[in-house]
Amino acid sequence: MKLQEIIDVIGKRHTNTSGNQITRLANRAIQDFCQKTEIYEEDFTTAGPTVQDQRWYTLPSRVIKIKYVSVDAETAPMLVGTPNKKDIT
Protein backbone atom coordinates (compact mmCIF):
# COMPACT_ATOMS: atom_id res chain seq x y z
CA MET A 1 0.00 0.00 0.00
CA LYS A 2 1.36 3.39 -0.96
CA LEU A 3 1.33 6.45 1.27
CA GLN A 4 -1.34 8.21 -0.81
CA GLU A 5 -3.63 5.18 -0.45
CA ILE A 6 -3.12 5.25 3.34
CA ILE A 7 -3.94 8.98 3.39
CA ASP A 8 -7.09 8.41 1.31
CA VAL A 9 -8.37 5.52 3.44
CA ILE A 10 -7.73 7.22 6.78
CA GLY A 11 -8.95 10.58 5.45
CA LYS A 12 -12.34 9.08 4.55
CA ARG A 13 -12.88 7.83 8.11
CA HIS A 14 -11.24 10.74 9.91
CA THR A 15 -12.23 13.79 7.88
CA ASN A 16 -10.68 16.30 10.31
CA THR A 17 -7.19 14.74 10.00
CA SER A 18 -4.83 16.40 7.53
CA GLY A 19 -2.66 14.55 5.05
CA ASN A 20 0.46 15.85 6.83
CA GLN A 21 -0.72 14.50 10.16
CA ILE A 22 -1.51 11.09 8.64
CA THR A 23 1.94 11.04 7.01
CA ARG A 24 3.66 11.79 10.33
CA LEU A 25 1.69 9.05 12.08
CA ALA A 26 2.45 6.54 9.30
CA ASN A 27 6.16 7.36 9.44
CA ARG A 28 6.18 6.93 13.22
CA ALA A 29 4.44 3.55 12.88
CA ILE A 30 6.99 2.43 10.28
CA GLN A 31 9.92 3.41 12.52
CA ASP A 32 8.38 1.62 15.51
CA PHE A 33 7.74 -1.53 13.47
CA CYS A 34 11.27 -1.56 12.05
CA GLN A 35 12.88 -1.14 15.47
CA LYS A 36 10.78 -3.88 17.06
CA THR A 37 11.50 -6.31 14.22
CA GLU A 38 15.16 -5.22 14.03
CA ILE A 39 14.81 -4.38 10.35
CA TYR A 40 16.05 -0.87 11.00
CA GLU A 41 19.81 -0.60 11.42
CA GLU A 42 21.95 2.44 11.99
CA ASP A 43 25.63 3.10 12.60
CA PHE A 44 26.75 5.34 15.45
CA THR A 45 30.04 7.02 16.23
CA THR A 46 30.86 8.21 19.73
CA ALA A 47 30.57 11.96 20.13
CA GLY A 48 34.10 12.30 21.48
CA PRO A 49 37.30 10.31 21.23
CA THR A 50 37.48 6.85 22.70
CA VAL A 51 39.36 6.60 25.97
CA GLN A 52 41.62 3.73 26.94
CA ASP A 53 40.00 1.43 29.53
CA GLN A 54 36.65 3.25 29.28
CA ARG A 55 33.88 0.72 28.70
CA TRP A 56 30.71 2.84 28.86
CA TYR A 57 29.68 5.48 26.33
CA THR A 58 26.42 7.35 25.88
CA LEU A 59 24.40 6.29 22.83
CA PRO A 60 21.17 7.73 21.43
CA SER A 61 18.03 6.54 23.25
CA ARG A 62 16.70 4.86 20.09
CA VAL A 63 19.43 2.18 20.28
CA ILE A 64 17.84 -1.15 21.26
CA LYS A 65 20.59 -3.60 20.40
CA ILE A 66 24.32 -3.48 19.64
CA LYS A 67 25.44 -5.98 17.00
CA TYR A 68 29.14 -5.16 17.08
CA VAL A 69 31.67 -2.58 18.20
CA SER A 70 34.48 -1.49 15.90
CA VAL A 71 37.62 0.28 17.14
CA ASP A 72 40.17 1.48 14.58
CA ALA A 73 38.58 -0.74 11.89
CA GLU A 74 38.80 -3.86 14.09
CA THR A 75 35.82 -5.57 15.69
CA ALA A 76 36.10 -5.46 19.47
CA PRO A 77 35.29 -8.56 21.52
CA MET A 78 31.84 -8.44 23.07
CA LEU A 79 30.86 -9.34 26.61
CA VAL A 80 28.60 -12.37 26.73
CA GLY A 81 26.36 -12.49 29.76
CA THR A 82 26.20 -10.20 32.78
CA PRO A 83 29.34 -8.80 34.43
CA ASN A 84 30.19 -10.08 37.94
CA LYS A 85 30.18 -6.57 39.36
CA LYS A 86 28.93 -3.18 38.24
CA ASP A 87 31.59 -1.39 36.21
CA ILE A 88 31.03 2.25 35.35
CA THR A 89 34.49 2.99 33.91
The domain spans of the chain are 3-36
Residue 8: per-residue pLDDT: 94
Q: Residue 59 pLDDT more than 70?
A: yes
Longest dimension (CA), the chain: 59
Residue 11: per-residue pLDDT: 93
Residue 71: per-residue pLDDT: 76
Q: First-to-last CA distance in the chain?
A: 48
Tens-digit pLDDT profile for residues 23-33: 999 999 988 88
Question: What residues does 69 pair with on adjacent strands?
Answer: none
